[in-house]
Amino acid sequence: MAEYKLEVTTGDMTHAGTSDYIYVTLIGTEGESERTELDNYGIDFTAGKVRTYTVKSKASLGKLLLVKVEKDPLFSLIDDEWFCSKIVVTTPEKEVILFPCNRWVSSGELVELRGGKAVKIFEEEHPLLIDHRKKELILNNRLYKWALYDPAMPHINNFKDTSDLPEEIRFSVSKKLEIVHTSIVGGGELKLKGLVGSTGEWENIEAMKEILMLNKTPTSEYVSEHWKEDEFYGYQFLNGSNPSVIQRCLKLPSNFPVTEEMVKPFLQKGSSLKKEMEKGNIFLCDYKRMDGLPTRMYNGKPLPLTAGLGLFYVNPENKLMPIAIQLHQQPSEQNPIFLPSDPESDWILAKMFLKNADTIQYEAVYHLTSTHYLAEGFTIATLRNFPAIHPFYKLLIPHFRYTLQINTDGRPKLMGPDGALSQGSLGTEGLTELMRRGFSEITYSFLCLPEDIAARGLESIPNFYYRDDGLKLWSIVNSFAKEMVEYYYPSDSEVRKDIELQAWINDIYSHSFLANKKTGIPTSFQTVEELIKFITMVIFRVTGQHAAVNNGQYDYQGWMPNSSLLMRKAPPTTKGQSSMKTIMETLPNIGETIHFMTMALVLTYKYSDVVPVGSYPVERFDEPAPKKIIKEFQEKLAQLSEAIGKRNSKLALPYNYLDPAQMENSIAI
């Protein structure tokens, strides 16, 4: 009689356990066991618990191939679902084999688990496993389908509502409750004060600050105190929520006629604009992509939108300072160039309108399109093309946790007629067109941080913590990807003959990048080096890049005068006509302010079920080598986190967004 020891782990999430009957059948190369009920004294399957069972067979089953799991209801009319995390089997030959499950099991459902080391398709030998692999992908392709969102945008998942999603890829119960709680708490006290939905106007800046203080962070409080300062304004284009636009300026655009006389007072004594350009000290933000976009109707009139240009100077104190702002693309007498020497309210308004354009473009292009929508495509392609035994399924699926849920749930809440982003200056039509324009310009090079930094000429600009931390993180992720890829693909020929891998990248190219050759996205992988680079990009984009553009939303947009999605009055066309009253009338009203603040709060709140970058709490790999690589990855991330902490301890305003200790392993919010 051969005995197999089974360690069965139930998931630790709410309602993961079951009182139903669980049966297993072990299938090996030499036969299969009898269908055996897993039954010990007491309650067997409670959340977070590991229970041990014995399955007997008349003889050894040979090499163990599959574990068949079935569930029958204790009460015939009730389906008490069970979340099985994993089953670890010790064979009579003392071999210990991990069979990952990580899914809900329903009554009457038959689940076949495959265990052992990761296997590529060309390594399969046993007909039963070849058939199992094929059937798994057929089922996944029926379940996860591509859908059209907009003809000029990345394709999305086919689920109409989050309730249609498979339960194992939905939010945990705790996260659902916390999101609801955050929304209620974020607006609860304000609702009692009659501010939620109010169309009233702010009396003054101080009244607005009282509201911010209800949910303040150290950074949001700093922002509310320093938002008028030019030094802090410039700092935000490097280290705020959107570090993706600014670039070195070696020659002024022809439609931005800044003269030497205009900016001479703001440059180093004895210098000139020409000299500072030659030194590499002049930088530009150009929002030409937003020119001509349709805006939302507001009180019967279209809202204003400025596709402006901003010129910045790194002064001898290494501070990035704004020195000129033009609010529309075409220069004219009604489109003056604003300067720091202009009346204070004129200069503040010019900075606010430029930041309004930056904030809208940031949310639509650099946040939603460039991280969320691309990650959704990576997720769908992975689920459709890699069976659970494939090494890249095991490697990548933890980096796609909750991504389909947050995108399916978030699209209507952000982009719908009453969505948070649609209540800004653009509205749904303008936002969609902006996203189309932004997506049409995305390239593989832009998605790879070292290349993007070089293309924008930002290698040496001082106090650029996004670049400093980001390049270090990119290097760590690249090293991790290199070791993982080279372990499973020791030669270029192995890359080329993995048809599942080739189908994966072709799916991404065709659906996430619409088969656009100009993007530079590969259509296939020919070498190990190509594969390493792409895996690095994917992991960095859904971890570091998303953290950089997501986690500072409330910090910088919670204080509305600093960064608003909505400007209600047209910008000044002549100087000397504005006042603080003009500024208050231009900013969102009370209800709109609360709406935007609550959105930012929900999207940046620290939820309790966060999985930090580099953490793989769900065990998927059964081999020592990848486990060792993961451990080294975690150690390097911890070292980077420590270095960032030491740097930040010396800064008046710490930059935490690329600290691995504060970064999620996936786009989960």
Distance of CA 97 to the CA centre of its chain: 34
High-pLDDT (> 70) share of the chain, %: 96
Phi, psi values for residue 113, rounded to 5°: -100, 140
Write out pLDDT tens, residues 169-182: 887 665 666 666 55
Q: Which of 40, 51, 56 is nearest to 92 (CA)?
A: 56
Each residue of 68-79: pLDDT tens digit?
999 988 775 677
Q: Where are the beta strands (DSSP E) in 200-245?
A: none
CB 241 within 8 A of CB 553: yes
Question: What is the pLDDT averaged over residues 118-123?
Answer: 98
**Pair 539, 400: CB distance under 8 Å:** no
Q: What is the arithmetic mean of pLDDT over 271-280?
A: 98
| Strand stretches in 276-381, DSSP E | 282-286, 297-298, 301-302, 309-314, 320-326, 337-338
For residue 377, give the 3-state DSSP assignment. helix
Q: What is the dihedral of CA 469, 471, 477, 480, to 10 degrees?
A: -110
pLDDT at position 609 is: 84
Q: What is the pLDDT of residue 417?
A: 87
Q: Measure CA 236 to chain center.
A: 20
Strands (E), 172-330: 247-248, 282-286, 297-298, 301-302, 309-314, 320-326
- Grade residue 109 by pLDDT with cuts at 50, 70 and 90: confident
Residue 108 to residue 78: CA distance in whole angstroms: 12
pLDDT of residue 108 exceeding 90, the answer is no
pLDDT (tens digit per residue) in 530-542: 999 999 999 999 9
How far is the C-alpha of 12 from the C-alpha of 174, rounded, in Å? 11
Name the band, by pLDDT with cuts 50, 70 and 90, for residue 192: very low
Q: What's residue 181's pLDDT?
A: 55
Mean pLDDT of 512-519: 98
d(CA 23, CA 21): 7
**On the CB side of 363, how many CA atoms lie within 13 Å of its CA?**
34
Tell me the average pLDDT across 82-93: 96
Q: What is the pLDDT of residues 328-369, one digit of tens each?
A: 999 999 999 999 999 999 999 999 999 999 999 999 999 999
State mean pLDDT over 370-399: 98
pLDDT value for 604: 87
Lowest-pLDDT range of 210-224, 394-408, 570-584, 617-631? 210-224
- Model confidence at 195, pLDDT cuts 50, 70, 90, reads confident
* Closest residue by Cα to residue 480 from 426, 562, 437, 544: 544
Average pLDDT in the chain: 94
Hey, how many other C-beta atoms are within 10 angstroms of the C-beta on 332?
Answer: 9
- In sequence order, the 6+-apart residues with CB closer than 8 A to the CB of 485 are 528, 531, 532, 535
- Picking from 95, 98, 97, the residue whose alpha carbon sits closest to that of residue 86 is 98
pLDDT tens-digit map of 279-321: 999 999 999 999 999 999 999 999 999 999 999 999 999 999 9
Residue 88: which region, alpha, beta or left (left: phi > 0; alpha: psi -120 to 50)?
A: beta
Q: Is 324 exposed, middle or buried (0-12, 13-18, 19+ CB in 10 A)?
A: buried
Is the pLDDT at 116 greater than 90, yes or no?
no
pLDDT confidence of residue 638: 98
Distance of CA 357 to the CA centre of its chain: 21
**Burial call 264-285: b when 16+ CB within 10 Å, e when fewer:** eebbeeeeebeebbeeebbbbb
Phi-psi region of 110 (alpha: psi -120 to 50; beta: other; left: phi over 0): beta
pLDDT tier, 191 (very low <50, low <70, confident <90, very high otherwise): low
Would you say how long the chain is, in residues? Answer: 669
User: What is the longest distance spanned by two Cα atoms in the chain?
Assistant: 95
Burial of 610 (0-12, 13-18, 19+ CB in 10 A): middle
pLDDT at 225: 97
